[in-house]
Every structure is written in structure tokens, then in C-alpha cells.
């Protein structure tokens, strides 16, 4: 009988319901596993180097845009650009060394217990995961989407709601429009405060006639423009957005506040998100992370396309699997993923997951590990035999991940989850198990997989270098003693934590 539904991907919602109910693997899911494995075993190297297809939640294939240029993608220069950003996220030194043709067990810098909440109670056993019905889960609160506030537009200096702005070609054109042709004070004098950028509104709020925070925003890109004649479009505050999206509540409503001079200023949800993004980009606490920092554009591969350099192999599928299940399924809190060699995935907060098992020898799909796992000694198709560690069993996994993606800033008066951007991608790998079913390692069936995972701790708070006490009463200007602190920290690209968090709380109705 001809199937009338798409074979891949299966609706994540339907998959989740079936998984939690313990239903048999569907025909569509079996087809998805078989189709991928057939291609994988027929042309392993080609499949290993594919960019995983991305889908919307209706199962329709999408073509996500990339912040990197065609030249950066084709040359793999984007790998180096990503690594430069990671240096600001990593807060401790990796203890691993490079290796070649070695087993890939879970290493110190890839230990999921170092990432997830309650890591000392990490569930490591695949059978326990099944017994606790953890094959699918989603967060109760969806992380919110926003733009990454690119530097070539002036970061938070971007007057995204100004109808006269139009489309500019580069940083200099945006800078000229906002600072020479149409300086912010003109808008204030004309009563057109609504059209100002988030940082300009903030400067008015704190009584800073020098627009210090706005100047800091433009200076973020100025050095690149002065040195190179351009500002790369990938440069922005995506790492700040990714963390703020679930560490701060969703701004739901527009908040009107008084400037230092008693003038009303509307902060739309996008304006408030912008300030939260900047705060978490520039004043974030220490983060938890696992995975390696591979800064090799084209790491050596074996005859099957498998990366040989262990620094570039991270993170291990066993670590990835435990991280997803324990953080989303058990702790019910997001984390951020980055796939080094996938130019379409970079600092994305995870929202939802679901997976099915497969027997890597027979290519048959199952809804529990017990039926899918085989003895490693019986795995005759194994493309990664020489890399295997000290395992007894192996089981295949095909996991669908839904993560949040950036959207455009807007003067929409209210915000809700339906306006967010989400993308679904499927990753295929196997897990190496000991005799009891504990995860001890694994192998990816695609090189463009998540390999750097991070999150602030559950009690993390982004704190500006100074943060005065006191209370900001709604309908009143900020306290006088806050103004000097705000003007000072603006020079270091930071808004005051007290101001940002109060705007978020008012907008979220807290």
C-alpha cells in the first residue's frame, strides 16, 4: 500500500505521544530509520559529512538561513569564527589531549554530570530511562525567540522600528543614518521616541544625554569596520539571547515607563528582550559546559568519514544522550547546543526531544532498548570497530530535537509562544553499553552533530558590575542614585541588572 504521509520526519508530537504510551514503533518511524541506515551503510563517508536536514513542526523541510557567508561556509572558516565565540563562554581549561585512532569513551570535559542540574543523581542506565518513560519530553515554558542583534546593524543601537531606516548595506551606512543623518535627539525633540532603538530608549530612561550605552553598541562593530572595512554579519549577541531566553521570563506586554525627565517611553517586548540579551551577553555568570573546542577547519577523517582527532569528536553520543534526557526530561530545564560543523546550528536553546531505538545490525526500529540492543561482538556491520571502547552491548538511537531559533525584532505590543521560531532536526548515533545497560560511550553516524553544550546554573543571575539597591516604583523615573551607576556601566556594554530585571518582571506580569 502506498503511504500518503511523509516518511521523514514523523510529527514530533505524535512521536512523543506514542513513545510515552509505550506503543509500537510506527511504520513511518521504521521507514525513517531504515532509509537513513541504508544510505549510511551504502555510502558511509558521504552520509557522515551531510548537513542534517531541518524541518518545521509540521514535518516540512525548511532551508534555514545562515549568518555566515557562502565563502565562509565553503571554506569551513565558520568553524574558526564559532571557536572565537566559544572562548568567551568557556570558563575553565580543557584537560584532554589530542588522540588518533583511539576509543571514544566519555571523557572528563565531556562528562554530562558537569552540565545537567543535579548531576550527582545522573541517570546513566538506558533501561532506567525506559522504565521512567523518558523517551520524550518538552519544557513546560518555551524559551522565547528574538534577534541576535547583529553588530553590523549597531547591536542594540538598531532602530528596528524606524520606518525611515530602510535597508542599509553595511555597518557604516547604519551608523551614518543613526548618528549623522538622524541623531537620536532629533527623535526626542520631535516626540518620536517610539522609533528609537532599545539602547537609545535605555539611555533616555537613565537620563544619559551622551547616549553612552548606544555609543558602546556602535563601538562593538567600529573596530572591525576600521580594520577590515566591514563587519561580518555573523557577529552579534546570540550567546546572550540563548541564555536569556530561558533564564529570564518571557516579556508579554509593552511597558511604559517615565524617563529621567518625566517623558513616557514605551518598551516593547522586543526592546526588553534586547536588554536581557545584552545583559546576559556581557554580564553573565559562570557557565557549565561540556564538549571540546575544535579549531581545526578540516580535521582528518578515516576511510568512513569518521573524525580521528578526539578533540574534534566531542561530544560523545553517550554524553549527548544523557545530557538531553537528564536536563530536559528529568530536570525540566533548557540548555544550549552548538554543532561545530553545522553552520545552521549555533547557540540554540533546546525545547523538546523524542527518540526511537534501532538495532544497528538489522536496521529494525524498537520502542525500548532491551529489544534493540545487540552484543558488540555480534555487530558485523560496525563501521567504527577500531574505535570501540570496553562495551558489552550497542544500541542505535535516532533522536529528534526541537530547538529555538532567532526571529526579527518587532513593535508588536504583546508577545506569546506562537510568535517564536522553532526548528526540528534528527540525529542518528549508537550507544555503547556495559553488561547492566549503563551508557559508556558511542559513535555518531554524522559528523555535523551537537558537540558543545552549555548552560548557566539554575540559580544563575547576570549581574552588572555595579547594581545599586532600592526600589523602582512603577510610573516613576528610576531612583536618582541609579543614574550614575547606569551611566558608568554603560561604558562597559552593560545595562543595570536592576533595571533589566524589573522591566522583565513588569512585562511578564510578575
Handedness of CA 107, 77, 238, 9 (dihedral sign): negative
47 in a domain, yes or no?
A: yes
Pair 23, 165 in one domain:
no
The β-bridge partners of 268 are: none
Distance CA 54, CA 278 (A): 28
- Angstrom distances, CA of residue 244 to CA of 140, 198, 281, 480: 17, 16, 9, 27
Pair 195, 328 in one domain:
no
Residue 264: Cβ-neighbour burial (10 angstroms; 0-12, 13-18, 19+): exposed
**Which DSSP string corresponds to 323-342?**
HHIIIIIIS----EEE-TT-
Q: What is the pLDDT of residue 105?
A: 46
Which residues 6+ apart lie within 8 Å of 462 measured at CB?
243, 244, 247, 279, 280, 283, 284, 285, 497
Pair 139, 157 in one domain:
no
2 in a domain, yes or no?
A: no
Q: What is the pLDDT of residue 108?
A: 55
Distance CA 334, CA 349 (A): 6
Pair 196, 87 in one domain:
no
Pair 370, 504 in one domain:
no
> Which range of residues forms the domain containing residue 184?
151-285+463-508
Rounded to 5 degrees, what are φ and ψ at 195?
-80, -5
Task: Tell me the pLDDT of the chain (510 aa) as tens digits.
Answer: 222 223 333 344 444 434 443 457 888 889 999 999 999 999 999 999 999 999 988 888 988 778 898 999 889 898 888 888 887 777 533 323 333 334 444 455 789 999 999 888 999 999 999 999 999 999 999 999 999 999 999 999 999 999 988 888 899 999 999 999 999 999 999 999 999 999 999 999 999 999 999 999 999 999 999 999 999 999 999 999 999 999 999 999 999 999 989 999 999 999 999 999 999 999 978 899 998 767 788 888 889 989 887 777 668 999 999 999 999 999 999 999 998 888 889 999 999 999 999 999 999 999 999 999 999 999 999 999 999 988 999 999 999 999 999 999 999 999 999 999 999 999 999 999 999 999 999 999 999 999 899 999 999 999 999 999 889 999 899 999 999 999 999 999 999 999 999 999 999 998
Q: How many domains does the chain have?
A: 2
6 in a domain, yes or no?
A: no
Pair 65, 183 in one domain:
no
Which residues 6+ apart lie within 8 Å of 185 measured at CB?
none
256 in a domain, yes or no?
A: yes
Pair 140, 161 in one domain:
no
Q: What is the pLDDT of residue 107?
A: 55
4 in a domain, yes or no?
A: no
Q: What is the pLDDT of residue 88?
A: 78
Pair 310, 383 in one domain:
yes
Is residue 312 within 8 A of residue 340, CB to CB? The reply is yes
Pair 161, 125 in one domain:
no
Residue 88: Cβ-neighbour burial (10 angstroms; 0-12, 13-18, 19+): exposed
Q: Where does a domain end: 414, 439, 456? A: 456
410 in a domain, yes or no?
A: yes
Pair 373, 429 in one domain:
yes
208 in a domain, yes or no?
A: yes
Helical segments of 171-307, H only: 171-176, 184-189, 198-205, 212-228, 238-247, 269-282
158 in a domain, yes or no?
A: yes
Q: What is the pLDDT of residue 12?
A: 41
Pair 434, 304 in one domain:
yes
Q: Where does a domain end: 438, 456, 474? A: 456
Pair 302, 439 in one domain:
yes
pTM of the predicted structure, to 2 decimals: 0.90
Q: Where does a domain end: 415, 432, 456? A: 456
**Under DSSP, is residue 249 helix (H, G, I), strand (E, B) or coil?**
coil
Enter the DSSP assignment of 316: P
Amino acid at each position: 500500500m502506498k503511504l500518503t504521509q511523509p516518511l521523514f520526519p514523523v510529527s514530533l508530537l505524535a512521536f512523543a505521544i506514542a513513545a510515552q504510551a509505550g506503543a509500537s514503533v510506527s511504520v513511518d518511524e521504521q521507514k525513517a530509520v531504515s532509509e537513513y541506515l541504508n544510505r549510511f551503510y551504502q555510502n558511509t563517508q558521504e552520509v557522515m559529512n551531510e548537513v542534517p536536514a531541518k524541518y518545521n513542526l509540521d514535518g516540512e523541510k525548511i532551508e534555514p538561513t545562515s549568518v555566515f557567508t557562502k565563502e565562509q561556509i565553503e571554506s569551513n572558516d565558520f568553524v574558526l569564527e564559532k571557536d572565537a565565540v566559544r572562548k568567551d563562554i568557556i570558563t575553565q581549561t580543557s584537560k584532554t589531549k589530542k588522540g588518533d585512532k583511539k576509543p571514544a569513551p566519555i571523557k572528563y570535559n565531556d562528562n554530562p554530570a558537569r552540565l545537567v542540574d543535579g548531576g550527582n543523581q545522573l541517570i546513566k542506565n538506558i533501561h532506567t530511562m525506559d522504565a521512567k518513560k523518558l523517551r520524550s519530553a518538552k519544557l513546560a515554558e518555551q524559551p522565547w525567540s528574538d534577534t541576535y542583534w547583529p553588530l553590523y546593524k549597531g547591536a542594540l543601537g538598531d532602530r528596528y522600528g524606524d520606518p525611515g531606516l530602510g535597508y542599509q548595506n553595511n555597518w557604516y551606512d547604519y551608523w551614518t543614518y543613526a548618528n549623522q543623518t538622524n541623531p537620536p535627539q532629533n527623535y526626542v525633540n520631535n516626540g518620536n521616541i517610539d522609533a528609537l532603538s532599545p539602547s537609545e530608549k535605555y539611555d533616555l530612561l537613565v537620563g544619559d544625554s551622551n547616549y553612552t550605552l548606544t555609543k558602546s553598541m556602535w563601538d562593538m562593530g567600529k573596530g572591525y569596520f576600521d580594520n577590515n572595512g566591514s563587519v561580518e554579519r555573523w557577529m552579534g549577541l546570540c550567546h546572550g539571547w540563548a541564555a536569556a531566553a530561558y533564564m529570564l521570563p518571557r516579556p508579554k506586554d509593552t511597558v511604559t515607563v517615565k524617563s529621567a525627565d518625566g517623558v513616557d517611553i514605551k518598551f516593547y517586548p522586543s526592546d526588553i528582550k534586547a536588554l536581557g540579551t545584552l545583559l546576559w551577553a556581557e554580564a553573565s555568570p559562570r557557565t557549565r559546559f561540556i564538549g571540546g573546542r575544535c579549531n581545526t577547519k578540516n580535521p582528518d577523517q578515516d576511510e568512513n568519514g569518521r573524525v580521528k582527532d578526539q578533540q574534534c569528536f566531542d561530544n560523545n553520543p553517550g554524553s549527548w544522550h544523557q545530557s538531553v534526557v537528564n536536563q530536559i526530561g528529568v530536570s525540566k530545564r533548557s540548555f544550549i547546543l552548538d554543532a561545530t560543523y553545522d553552520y545552521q546550528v549555533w547557540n540554540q536553546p533546546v525545547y523538546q526531544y523524542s527518540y526511537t531505538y534501532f538495532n544497528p545490525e538489522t536496521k529494525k526500529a524498537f520502542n525500548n532498548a532491551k529489544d534493540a540492543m545487540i552484543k558488540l561482538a555480534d555487530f558485523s556491520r560496525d563501521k567504527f570497530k577500531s574505535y570501540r571502547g570496553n562495551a558489552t552491548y550497542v544500541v542505535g538511537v535516532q533522536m529528534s530535537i526541537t530547538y529555538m531559533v532567532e526571529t526579527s525584532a518587532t513593535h508588536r505590543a504583546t508577545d506569546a509562544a506562537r510568535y517564536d521560531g522553532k526548528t526540528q532536526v534528527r540525529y542518528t548515533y549508537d550507544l555503547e553499553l556495559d553488561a547492566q545497560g549503563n551508557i559508556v560511550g558511542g559513535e555518531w553516524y554524522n559528523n555535523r552533530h551537537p558537540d558543545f553544550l552549555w548552560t548557566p546554573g539554575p540559580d544563575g543571575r547576570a549581574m552588572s558590575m555595579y547594581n545599586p539597591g532600592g526600589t523602582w516604583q512603577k510610573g516613576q523615573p528610576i531612583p536618582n542614585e541609579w543614574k550614575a551607576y547606569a551611566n558608568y556601566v554603560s561604558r562597559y556594554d552593560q545595562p543595570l541588572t536592576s533595571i533589566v530585571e524589573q522591566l522583565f518582571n513588569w512585562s511578564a506580569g510578575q
